[in-house]
Each structure stands twice: as C-alpha cells, then as structure tokens.
C-alpha cells in the first residue's frame, strides 16, 4: 500500500473514487489517497473549442457545398460527462495526457456528428445561391437545435457559441455562379441604363406637365383672386351702403330725439316761467296786502295820535314839537312863523353870512 498526496489545478474538476464510490469531488482539490484503493477522474473546467469542416453537403439543386465552422462548449454536468466519456486520471503524465486528449476528441466527435446531421438537413433545403449567404441562419439553427438536443444533455455539455466561418461551393460551381452573376449584373446594368433614360424622359415629361399645370393653376388663382377682389369690393360697397343707411337713420333718430328733448325743455321752461309769474303775482299780491296793512297801521297810528291831541291847545302842541326839534328844525320853524306874520313885518334883511352861520353844524 502506498499513500500519496496530490494537488490539482483550479481548472481541473476532480472526482475521487474510493471503493467504487465518489468520496470527494470539486475543482482544484488536494488530498492524500491510497493508490491501491483510490482512482480519480479529472475533467476540464475551462471552455473547449473544436472546428469542423463538411465537404459533402448537397444543396436542393444538387450542388456540393463546403461548410466550415467552430463550436465552443463547456462541461456543465461533470457526473454525466464522466459517465459518457473516459476522463480517468493516470499517474503517468504521457498516459494521462493521451487519455484526456482522447476524451476531449470523443466529446468533440459526438458534437460534430450532431452538427453534420443538422447542417446536412439545412443545406439540402436550400439552393446553392441561398446556401452561400445563409451563414447566420445556419448558425442560429444549429445553436437552437443543439441546446435542446438530448445527446448534448446526456453528455453534460453546455453549448457556448457556434460560428459558421464559411459556406462555399466547388470551384467550377463558383465560376458558373460568377459568370451567371456577372451576366445578371450586366443585364441589370443595361436595365438600369434603360430605366435611367426612360426615367429622364419621364421626368422631363413630368416637368413640362408640371409647368403647364402650374401655369393653369396660376391662371386659376389669378381668376379666383380677381373674383375675390370683385366680391370683396361688392361686399364693401354693400356694407358701406348699410353703414350709411344706419348712419342716416341714426342721425334722423338723433335729430328727432333732440327735437323732442328741446320741446320737453321748452315746455319745462314755459311751465317754470308760468310758475314763476304765478309766484310773482302771489308775491305782488302779498306785497300789496302787506303795504295795505302797513298803511292801515300808519293811518291807525295817526288817527290815535290825532285823537290824543284833540282838544289840546295849539300852543302846547307847538311847544312839545319845539322841544324835540334840532337847531335846523327850530330855524325852519322860526322862518315859518315869520312867514305867517309877513303882513306885520315891514322889512327883513338876511345876509349870506347869517344863513351860513344858521345852517352850519
């Protein structure tokens, strides 16, 4: 019995099998083991890639095609992969490398076989001219079918990508296609020249037709413009006539209202004058009545005064009158007395100085 220690790389998934059962598994393990009772499986954890080339693909029009591509994949279920392919580890480096290489080749072969089946089916449904340009379509179809394939699932493989590097026909087929394509291109060139000339002629006809249509439309627009101007002028004249009529009616109505208002004012003024004259009459009547009452009062006073002095001696009355007179009144009284006795006075001389002295204050 020999006990050994082994340490694996992180890119290696190790399954330690003791007595026919997996006792330990994982990436980059390190452990002691008994060489007599322990065996190991080592699977790669990195992505694997393999190319493929199919030379015998037959199209729907019986042309042989060559398809080249590349597929990248990785082991997703190590238990399934270890059951399907031999990844046994050997202490001998050469034997181990050979075993690993054969295991990878075996997985790649199974994948390529599936690719060939799907590619053959795809190419056989296309004509040669269609197949040459169907690289992306083929890659998408292979990717979808392999991801859903039971064989791939049983191998524990996950498809990462599928690339179609080229789909090519045989040399003689390519030459024929090139000739046919060249003739087609020349024909298309001739058609293009013919179409370009026809297009130029058609374009010139369209230009002339457009010019004529433009002139017709311009004339129609001018006519419409003239008609609109005449219609506008007519509407303006009608509107002006309506405005003048309304203005005249408003002036007549205004004049009537003014006359009515003036008549009302004249009537009101006349009524005011009548009322004023009535007031004046009433005032004059009142003045006359008041004056009559004052005259009656004065007459009554005079009568009372006369009644009072009835039977009183005339000399007494004179004395009473003289008592209340001022100097001028007394002088005037003296001259009146002399006038009453003028027949008794022989001569009387009054100088201006005496009159001034008598009348002076």
Show Cβ contacts of residue 100 under 8 Å, excluding neighbours closer than 6 positions: 42, 44, 87
Collapse the DSSP code of 84 into the 3-class scheme (helix H, G, I; strand E, B; otherwise coil) and give the result: helix
Q: Domain residue spans in the chain?
A: 1-46, 47-169, 311-359
Closest of 87, 70, 63 to residue 15, by C-alpha = 87
Q: Edge-to-edge strand order for the sheet containing 38-44?
A: 21-27, 12-18, 38-44
pLDDT in tens, 317-361: 566 555 555 556 656 666 666 666 666 666 666 666 666 665 665
CA dist 219 and 213 (Å) reads: 10
> By CB neighbour count within 10 A (0-12 exposed, 13-18 middle, 19+ buried), where does 89 fall?
buried
pLDDT in tens, 15-66: 999 888 888 999 999 988 888 888 899 999 999 999 999 988 899 988 888 9
What is the total residue count of the chain? Answer: 361
pLDDT by residue for the chain (361 residues), tens only, comes to 578 888 999 999 999 998 888 889 999 999 888 888 888 999 999 999 999 999 888 999 888 889 999 999 999 999 999 999 989 998 888 988 898 999 999 999 999 999 999 999 999 999 988 888 899 999 999 999 998 899 899 999 999 999 999 998 888 877 776 666 667 777 887 788 888 888 888 888 898 889 889 889 898 888 888 889 999 889 999 988 888 898 888 888 888 888 888 888 888 888 888 888 888 888 888 888 888 888 888 777 767 666 665 665 566 556 655 555 555 665 666 666 666 666 666 666 666 666 666 566 5
Structure pTM? 0.49
For 293-310, b/e burial (b = at least 16 CB within 10 A) is: eeeeeeeeeeeeeeeeee
> By CB neighbour count within 10 A (0-12 exposed, 13-18 middle, 19+ buried), where does 56 fall?
exposed
Q: Tell me yes or no: is domain 47-169 CATH 3.40.718.10.
A: no
Helices then strands, each counted (H, E), the chain: 9, 8
Tell the residue number behind the tokens 């129609």, with chain if given. Answer: 220
């Amino acid at each position: 019995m020999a006990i050994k220690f082994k340490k694996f790389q992180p890119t290696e998934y190790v399954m330690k099998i003791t007595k026919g059962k997996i006792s330990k598994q994982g990436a980059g393990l390190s452990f002691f083991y008994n060489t007599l009772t322990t065996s190991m499986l080592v699977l790669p954890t990195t992505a694997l890639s393999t190319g493929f080339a199919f030379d015998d693909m037959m199209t729907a029009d019986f042309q042989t095609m060559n398809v080249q591509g590349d597929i990248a994949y990785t082991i997703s279920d190590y238990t399934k992969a270890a059951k399907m392919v031999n990844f046994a580890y050997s202490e001998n480096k050469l034997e181990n490398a050979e075993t690993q290489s054969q295991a990878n080749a075996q997985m790649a072969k199974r994948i390529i076989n599936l690719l060939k089946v799907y590619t053959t089916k795809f190419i056989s449904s296309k004509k040669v001219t269609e197949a040459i340009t169907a690289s992306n379509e083929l890659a998408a179809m292979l990717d979808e079918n392999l991801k859903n394939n039971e064989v791939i699932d049983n191998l524990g493989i996950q498809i990462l990508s599928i690339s179609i590097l080229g789909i090519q026909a045989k040399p003689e087929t390519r030459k024929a296609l090139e000739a046919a394509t060249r003739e087609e291109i020349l024909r298309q060139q001739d058609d293009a020249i013919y179409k370009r000339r026809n297009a130029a002629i058609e374009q010139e006809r369209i230009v002339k037709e457009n010019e004529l249509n433009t002139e017709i439309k311009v004339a129609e627009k001018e006519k419409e413009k003239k008609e609109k101007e005449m219609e506008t002028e007519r509407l303006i004249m009608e509107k002006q006539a309506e405005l003048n009529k309304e203005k005249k009616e408003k002036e007549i109505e205004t004049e009537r209202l003014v006359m009515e208002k003036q008549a009302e004012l004249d009537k009101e003024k006349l009524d005011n004058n009548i009322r004023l004259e009535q007031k004046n009459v009433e005032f004059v009547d009142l003045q006359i009545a008041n004056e009559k009452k004052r005259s009656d009062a004065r007459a009554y006073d005079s009568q009372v005064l006369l009644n009072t002095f009835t039977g009183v001696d005339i000399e007494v009355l004179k004395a009473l009158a003289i008592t209340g007179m001022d100097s001028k009144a007394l002088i005037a009284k003296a001259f009146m007395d002399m006038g009453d006795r003028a027949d008794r006075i022989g001569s009387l001389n009054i100088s201006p100085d005496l009159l001034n002295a008598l009348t002076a204050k």
